Amino acid sequence: MVIPPQINKGRQRTGPVVRPARGPLTSSQPDPVAQVLAGVPVGITTLVNFDGVDDAAQASQSGFLVVPPDTNGTVGATQFVQWVNLAFAVFDKRTGAKVFGPAAGNTFWGGFGGPCETNNSGDPVIQYDKAAGRWVAAQPVFVAPFMYCLAVSTTSDATGRYNRYAFTFPAGAFPDYPKLGIWPDAYYATFNIFFASKFSGAMGLRL
């Protein structure tokens, strides 16, 4: 279902709002929650520290780099997945060891056919549905006909099987800056829509 852009038709002010002048607030009582002393410095110890997907990994999957890298990642039951624009990798979250990748973003749609399989456009989102124990991977297709590609794992293993989907947009609607949210009843995605390089408004999908 496509939610078209909405125009705000609310009331408009014809002039500035004038508020009465007000003096400073004063009190004869001390503030009981005011901080007067700094606490003891606390050191932070990282549990696991490891290298993620770097420029070389991204270039190895696409032949070029994209700047900015649109880095994002999420933690699942036993794994961490990082997706940097055109390449992703799966890590063991306990040890930091790489268990898969780096691989091109459109690997999620290998064998699916169509633009989702043949295009690796970047602007990816990787999420973990904690309630269902499933990975949710998504990226747009920035070549007409523009599409949004979604892959949902069948288990909590990010290297396992996925159910794949493709959603189309109105002709000429360029789906920029996609964001994906997880809710109990559905997955929701939002986009900045451009027509002929001109911003048209926001659009939402209930997936």
In 105-197, DSSP assigns E strands to 125-129, 134-141, 147-153, 162-168, 174-183, 186-195
DSSP state of 116: H
Residues forming beta bridges with residue 87, ordered by sequence position = 84, 104
Q: Output the pLDDT for position 109.
A: 95
Radius of gyration in angstroms for the set of CA atoms belonging to the chain, rounded to a whole number: 23
Which residue in this structure is represented by tokens 């890590």?
A: 91
What integer pLDDT is reported at residue 57 of this predicted model?
78
Helix (H, G, I), strand (E, B) or coil at 108: helix
Task: Pick out the chain residues at pLDDT < 50.
Answer: 1-15
What is the DSSP code string of 68-83? S--EEEEE-SSEEEEE
Report pTM. 0.73
154 backbone dihedrals φ, ψ, rounded to 5°? -90, -10
What is the pLDDT, as a whole number, of residue 51?
85
pLDDT tens, residue by residue, 113-154: 999 999 998 889 999 999 999 999 999 999 988 999 999 999
Q: Which residue carries 């003891």 as its tokens?
A: 40
State the pLDDT at residue 27.
65
